[in-house]
Structure 1
Amino acid sequence: MTAGTSTETGAETGTGARFPVLEGNPLLGSFLDLKADSLGTYLRAQRRRGDLVRVDVGPPGLRMEMYCVFSAEGAQRVLASESANFRKDNPFYQEIRDSFGNGLLTAQDEDYLRQRRLVQPLFTRKRVDGYAGAVADETGSTLAAWARSRDGIVDVSDEMMHLALRAVSRILFGADVDATVDVVHRCFPVITEYVLRRGYSPLNVPRGWPTPGNRRAAAAMDELYGVCDRIISERRRSPSPGGEGSEDLLTLLAGAQSADDAAFDAAELRDQVLIFLLAGHETTATSLAFALHLLGRHPEVQALAREEVTRVLGDRTPGAADLDRLPYLTRVLKEAMRLYPAAPVIGRQAVAATEIDGHTVPADATVILAPWVTHRHPRYWSDPDRFDPDRFLPEAEAARPRYAWFPFGGGPRACIGQHFSMLESVIALAMVLRAYEIEAVDTEVPLSAGITLRAEGPMRCRIRPVAG
């Protein structure tokens, strides 16, 4: 793949060819197709026009041109080797900033570097491994509730969202978990829907106008901010002297500082908390729910995973050290994340005109990467729609390009919580499989791409206690 970046920042054109354009409606482009089925539209764009495709959205005069890069090599260029040229400056990220704060997910430049320096020591493997007990406790509570299910059917999408929210809230807030879970569960859907509606609209009214949508979102943000501010204020006045809560993530964040960086102030702390709540529960819940959904549709894979779990764990509670002892279960999870990446679409904004594979991405262009598409690319994945955990055997992984699979993003902005997500997911899956056999009731689940991948219908599974 040949490429080069313009030496003149802000250049409108490069020397390469134009991106081929996905055919669409003469008036609205691909707007209606994306609204009806964005994931299918991106997949169709790659199948019809190749790895570099321009997708036009909206009417003339308000039209947005999106430059889609679907190859693993192109994703590596955008996220890693030329990441400085592709920023989080598009309208969608601005809406997230305005709603969830300028935390680690959305910050840029020196703000981002300072935040990363302060937060990175709190996400070392050793530190994250210490959260395994909290994950196991919350999973145990979920399984105990399942045992009281009258009809033996659970919606794994709802259940994993609840489990992941409780786990990340407990790790963030310690003993204050119950004060946050209900508020987050109630307010997050209102705010995320608001972000999506505004982020993909070519024209928005100011947030301060008293429209019904603005007022609903403002009320939800006020309630969410209020509970976070209260807990932060109480923690700063009276840190826990010991026991549960003394080493929760909020306590560590409040005390984080370095020789070069002052500690977070109260507003910055809230921004970090909100982003961790957003990124730390929806993504992991998505991965867990679809892993269970796939296992419920593939009993032969489920049996192999359960055999490994039973052999390795016996009756004991899984811990962080068991991640390396459960390679097949880890492959199951990775394959679920290939087919159902929690972040199915990733956006960036080009700073300067850039050539990718002989085609020019103009300066200021909106750039779209789609793990949903790259994870199904026939160049990297044979029979790509088939569920096959052995795609992630070490020799198979080594034979593929690095960015053929990138559910956690990549480069300098790769997800800081990816080890925690894998830890939580493997522990939870192991405990579920040891306790229950899973059978998918809803074998087909409609999907949509929001801030994260979302099931638009139930994901019910029938659960039966494992014999013996």
Structure 2
Amino acid sequence: MSREVPLVAGHPLLGSLKELREDVLAAYLRAQRSVGDVVRFQAGPPGLRTEVYGVFSADGVQQVLGSQAANFRKDNPTYDEIRESVGNGLLTSQDDEYVFQRRMVQPLFTRRRVDEYATAVRAEAVRTVAGWKSSSDGVVDVSSEMTEFGLRAVARILFGADIDTAIDVIRRRFPVIGESVLRRGVSPVRLPRTWPTPANRRTIAAQRELYDVCDRIIAQRAADGEHDGDDMISLLVRARDEDGSGLTADAVRDQILIFLLVGHDTTATSLAFALHLLAGHPEARARARAEVDTVLAGRPVTAEDTEALTYLNQLLKETMRLYPAAPIIGRRAFADADVSGFRIPAGADVYLTPWVTHRHPDYWERPETFDPERFTPDQEAARPRYAWFPFGGGPRACIGQHFSMMEACVALATVLQRYDVEAYDPPGHTTPVALGMALRPAGPLRVRVTARTTEAAA
């Protein structure tokens, strides 16, 4: 018989509201350490109290994302807000609609197709680091730099030659959309979007401008004919199912905006923290640089090189362990379920937390220590599958996992060919994090860069 999920102790009146609002990641981590791998939080005063469940063990995550995935759905308020803001694309769609969308989009993310995107990724990485030479003190904020790189790289792949038409709108308007999704997704009271509040007006204006620029480019691609263009918009416009059906213009726009929403911040987070960690770990930095120099021998990195850059892949995975771009993954139970021997009731909001599972002492020795050796093939094979899940898992695993790893590896190799990175912050400095649409540093993430004497070809 399933056991009742233990309650995390909180304030007599407000429950865990204060802890969850102040630092939800720390609250989940404390709960796992003090209560266990399946926990229950209550937050808010009686009568307005909400209840959420946390699942932290690898086997529990496997049940929610894998074996019981059909019962744990994307029906919570945050996903509702994403649907309202940028459309019902692959991230948020469900059931038959999701199956159809995945079938249509999958050809854009085959290994062969993804490898073709590497040239655009490298060009944007070169463009980004070219500006570092002008830094008077040799110090750069890799958080802002990698955010700009991630935005331009994804936008170039999506919009192709129209990147300059779209990039300014995306840069200005996506933060407005993201802020609205986060604010409304956790609010106990969500005012109708039609009410003319200042926040609603800002969000609607941002949405309208984003939709307009996408719609114009999609219409142009459709008018260009069947054989023009290899950017993602062109590929989506031409995509056809077995029966000859394709995506509507609105559906193409939804996919593009979802890719933008989840695509640029996630890789930017991984790259920024990877550079910051390398700057503070001289041995890892030297090994990564030596591997880049040996494998590439001064030539531009290609997608084919990423498999040979084994240590770079290990350190990127270790970075994603410590700083998963999606540190919390939410689902809602459709029916009663048993997870790791505990009863999860129908309608419950369930949160999986890579931030916690990636630090679980049952799977990770010295979990707060940066150690890329954790991701040698032997070490990976010895751990449960869901001890590390920055890309989710199960039938809803991120379709862009290979693209994200390729993009990060190509960009990191490009940086290390051109610059040495060293720590700027004093020893013992800790990096506070914040939750946006992706995990991010709470402030600048500074490293000192020095141009290498021998540069790679462009």
TM over 0.5: same fold? yes
Q: CA deviation at 1:26?
A: 2.2
TM-aligned CA distance change 1:63 to 1:261, over 3 Å: farther
Distance 1:153 1:240, change over 3 A: farther
Residue of structure 2 aligned with 1:311, choices 273, 290, 294: 294
* Contact 1:168-1:277 within 8 A present in 2 as well: yes
> Residue 286 of structure 1 aligns with which residue?
269
Correspondence 1:7-406 to 2 at 5 A: 15-239=1-225, 246-260=229-243, 262-406=245-389
Residues 377-416 of structure 1 deviation map (CA, whole Å, 9 limit, x = unaligned): 0000000000000000110000000000000000010000
Once the 2 structures are TM-superposed, how far is the Cα of residue 167 of structure 1 from its aligned partner? 0.7
**More displaced 10-residue stretch of structure 1: 433-442 or 417-426:** 433-442
Distance 2:340 2:226 in 1: 55
TM-score (norm 1): 0.94
SS state at 1:259 partner = coil
- Partner of residue 417, structure 1: 400
Distance 2:432 2:209 in 1: 31
Is 1:436 paired with 2:419?
yes
User: 1:466 offset after TM fit, Å?
Assistant: 2.1
Distance in 1 separating the partners of 2:179 and 2:122: 31
Could you tell me how far 1:311 is from its partner in structure 2? Answer: 0.6
Provide the identity percentage. 59
Whole-angstrom distance in 2 between the partners of 1:301 and 1:184: 35
Partner Cα distance (1:361, 1:380) in 2: 24
CA-to-partner distance for each residue in 1:94-113, whole Å, 9 max, x for gaps? Answer: 01111111000000011101
| Partner SS, residue 420 of structure 2 | strand
Letter in 1 for 2:360: H
Runs of 4 or more consecutive aligned structure 1 residues displaced over 6 Å after TM superposition: none
- RMSD (Å) for aligned C-alpha atoms: 1.3
Query: Partner amino acid for 2:258?
Result: I
Deviation of 1:333 after TM superposition, in Å, equals 0.3
Cα 1:436–1:239, aligned 2, differ >3 Å: closer, same or farther?
A: farther
In the alignment, residue 431 of structure 1 is paired with which amino acid? T
Instruction: Please state how far the C-alpha of 1:79 moved relative to its aligned partner.
Output: 0.3
Q: Secondary structure at the match of 1:177?
A: helix
1:461 to 447, 451, 455: 447
1:149 shift after superposition: 2.0
Instruction: Provide the secondary structure at the position in 2 that maps to 1:262.
Output: coil
Q: Match of 2:366, as an amino acid?
A: D
Q: Judging changes above 3 Å, is the alpha-carbon distance between structure 1 residues 354 and 240 closer, same or farther for their aligned structure 2 residues?
A: closer
Asked whether the equivalents of residues 88 and 254 of structure 2 are also in contact (C-alpha less than 8 Å), the reply is yes
Q: Matches of 2:87 and 2:175 in 1, distance apart? A: 16
CA contact (8 A) 2:262 2:437 kept: no
C-alpha separation in 2, matches of 1:260 and 1:61: 52
Paired with 1:236 and 1:31, the residues of 2 have a C-alpha distance of 50
Which one-letter code corresponds to 2:291 in the other structure?
E
Deviation, 1:36, is 1.0
Deviation at 1:241, TM superposition (A): 6.2
Instruction: Write the deviation string for residues 186-231 of structure 1: whole angstroms up to 9, x where unpaired.
Output: 1111111111111111111111111111111111111111111111
Note the alpha carbon deviations across 1:62-94, whole angstroms, 9 max, x for none.
222111100001000100111001000011110
Deviates further, 434-443 or 112-121:
434-443
TM-score, normalised via structure 2 length: 0.96
Question: C-alpha distance in 1, partners of 2:269/2:17?
Answer: 26
What is the letter of the counterpart of residue 265 of structure 1? Answer: T
Aligned partners of 1:445 and 1:458 also within 8 Å:
no
Whole-Å separation in 2 of the counterparts to 1:60 and 1:48: 25
Residue 154 of structure 1 contacts residue 461 of structure 1 at CA under 8 Å; is this kept in 2?
A: yes
1:239 shift after superposition: 4.7
3-state DSSP of counterpart to 2:209: helix
Seen in structure 2, the aligned counterparts of structure 1 residues 240 and 112 have a Cα distance that, compared at 3 Å, is closer
Q: Is the 8 A contact 2:421 2:450 kept in 1?
A: yes
Number of residue-to-residue matches in the alignment: 451
Distance in 1, matches of 2:132 and 2:224, equals 37
Query: Which whole-Å CA distance do the structure 2 matches of 1:99 and 1:58 have between them?
Result: 27
The secondary structure found in structure 2 opposite 1:210 is: coil
Q: Is contact 2:64-2:339 (8 Å) kept?
A: no
Counterpart for residue 7 of structure 1: none
SS in 1 for 2:350: strand
- 8 Å CA contact retained: 2:265, 2:437: no
Deviation at residue 55 of structure 1 after TM alignment: 1.2
Please tell me whether the aligned partners of residues 17 and 44 of structure 2 are also in contact (alpha carbons under 8 angstroms).
yes
> Larger deviation: 256-265 or 357-366?
256-265
Q: In the alignment, is the contact (CA less than 8 A) between 1:51 and 1:70 conserved in 2?
A: yes
**Which ranges in structure 2 are unaligned for 5 or more consecutive residues?**
none
Note if contact 1:118-1:261 (Cα within 8 Å) is conserved in structure 2.
no
